[in-house]
Structure 1
Amino acid sequence: MLSTDDATNDRPRVTIRCQDNASVSVTFCDRFTFDADSVHYAVELRAPGLTARTDEVVAWSWGGDLAPFLEGLAADCRGWDGERNRQTCDRDLTVSAVFRSGGRVGLSWTSQPWPKAAGGWGASVTTWLEAGEQLASLAGGIRYFLAVDQQ
């Protein structure tokens, strides 16, 4: 389940909720940009007993970030074998996707700010979506959220 919410402070926000357990979610929020080459944003992971936030994840316009990856998954809605992965250039956000019978896709979102720093932390949640419309809607929502030319 995907929701886009502009009501909080007129800033785009995308929340992905697990189809199996709505208390498991990933939220993309607090986006800003300094130039035409990048978008900075925060990612919040939530699950029972877990709340984690990574600030200043960066999507580079030349990096083929999450939107093309999710669009590729949506295009393969009939399924694939194995696991597909995408990582941000700074390696602080990773998405792993698996396809299961019944047209379900598991997206495991792992946030690990400052991955090479000693004493760092990491958190992960998995959201389950249908491979068709829900995944296509997520891809479109992330494409909109990461658009460099937004205010």
Structure 2
Amino acid sequence: MTSPDHDTVDKPGVAIRCQDNPSVGVTFCDRFSFDADSVHYAVELRAPGLTARADEVVAWLWDSDLRVFLEELAADYQGWDGERNWQTNDRDLAVSAVFRSGGYVGLTWALRPWPQAAGGWGASVTTWLEAGEQMASLSADIREFLTTDQP
């Protein structure tokens, strides 16, 4: 399940909750831009016993970004074989997707900020969403989050 994060009107965000376990989720928030070519944002992962945050994930608007990956998954609501993968250019956010019988998509969200740094860290959670309407909603919410002009 996805929902716009309405903690404050001035700070748009997207919250994704796992259908199987609502205490597992991902939040996209704190978006900002330096120029017309990129959007910077934070990603937070949460699960019982886990909270992780990467503060400056970058989406390059000229590249195949997360919104395109999610739109393709939503379009394939009848399923696919194997695993599909996407990652940022900096490799600090990666998403893998699998389709399971019954019409559900498992999205594993992995954070690994500063992947080249010694002593870096990584964390991941998996959210399960309905392949049809929930994936379409997530795709639309992420598109709006990444492309809407800031107030």
* 1:41 counterpart = 2:44: no
For structure 1, the residue ranges without an aligned partner over 5 or more in a row are none
Q: Cα deviation per residue 1:24-57 (whole Å; 9 max; x = unaligned)? A: 0000000000110000000000000000000110
CA distance in 2, matches of 1:137, 1:150: 21
Unaligned segments of structure 2, at least 5 residues? none
Indicate if the aligned counterparts of 1:36 and 1:148 stay in contact, CA closer than 8 A.
no
Q: Which residue of 1 aligns with 2:78?
A: 78
2:12 maps to: 12
Letter in 2 for 1:18: C
- Rounded Cα–Cα distance in structure 1 between residues aligned with 2:14 and 2:144: 9
Q: Taking structure 1 as the reference length, what is the TM-score of the superposition? A: 0.97
User: RMSD value over aligned CA atoms?
Assistant: 1.0
1:9 Cα shift?
A: 4.8
Post-superposition shift, 1:8?
Answer: 2.1
User: Structure 1 residue 147: deviation in Å?
Assistant: 0.6
What letter corresponds to residue 111 of structure 1 in structure 2? L
Q: Deviations over 1:34-92 (max 9, x none)?
A: 11000000000000000000011000011111000000000000000000000011100
**Identical residues among aligned pairs (%):** 75
* AA aligned opposite 1:101: S
How many aligned residue pairs are there? 151
Query: Cα offset for 1:6?
Result: 3.2
Which letter does structure 2 place at the counterpart of 1:63?
Answer: D
Whether 2:68 is the aligned partner of 1:68: answer: yes
- The match for 2:120 is 120
Aligned partner of 1:25 in structure 2 is: 25
| Residues 66 and 131 (structure 1), Cα distance of their counterparts in 2 relative to 1, 3 Å cut | same
